[in-house]
């Protein structure tokens, strides 16, 4: 599609439950990024993919967070055993393949608001 799609819009989970978020990048974009935005607009980079391969996972809290981008499926971000501090808006963004300056422009989806109670 022409826009990054994210589902669901809102997700409420009790502490300790699992949460799974989905992202479909713009058609033709090879890179997918996940960010977590908490208070004061602070964006935390979580992980990026180049097609189905993990490209950079330096921001991922690996003990509870995992992510996948499989062929012909939306990308997913899964949080096992959610904690109160995981409450945030999770944004997915995509960008084109490398090559040319515009390749690095990231386009964001509408986000998924996760509330852990």
Partner 1 sequence: QKEVEQNSGPLSVPEGAIASLNCTYSDRGSQSFFWYRQYSGKSPELIMSIYSNGDKEDGRFTAQLNKASQYVSLLIRDSQPSDSATYLCAVRVGGYQKVTFGTGTKLQVIP
90 binds partner 1 (CB under 8 A): no
Q: How far is the CB of 58 from partner 1 (least distance, A)?
A: 8
* Residue closer to partner 1, measured from CB, 14 or 99: 99
Length of the chain, in residues: 117
Residues 6+ apart with CB under 8 A from 49: 31, 32, 33, 55, 67, 69, 75
- Note if the bond before 39 is cis, omega within 30 degrees: no
* Residue closer to partner 1, measured from CB, 15 or 98: 98
11 to 73, 103, 114: CA distances (angstroms): 20, 32, 5
Contact 79, 64 (CB under 8 A): yes
Among 17, 50, 76, 115, indicate the residue that binds partner 1 (CB under 8 A): 50
108 binds partner 1 (CB under 8 A): yes
52 binds partner 1 (CB under 8 A): no
Among 2, 28, 41, 99, indicate the residue that binds partner 1 (CB under 8 A): 41
Residues engaged in binding partner 1 (CB under 8 A): 31, 33, 35, 40-43, 45, 48, 50, 55-56, 91, 95, 98, 101-102, 104-111
């Amino acid at each position: 599609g022409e826009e990054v799609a994210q589902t669901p819009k809102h997700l409420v989970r009790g502490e300790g439950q699992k949460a799974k978020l989905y992202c479909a990048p713009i058609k033709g974009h090879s890179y997918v990024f996940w960010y977590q935005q908490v208070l004061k607009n602070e964006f935390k980079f979580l992980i990026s993919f180049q097609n189905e391969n993990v490209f950079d996972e330096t921001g991922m809290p690996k003990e509870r967070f995992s992510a996948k981008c499989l062929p012909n499926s939306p990308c997913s971000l899964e949080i096992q055993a959610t904690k109160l501090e995981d409450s945030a808006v999770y944004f997915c963004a995509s960008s084109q393949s490398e090559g040319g300056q515009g390749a690095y422009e990231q386009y964001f989806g509408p986000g998924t608001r996760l509330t852990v109670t």
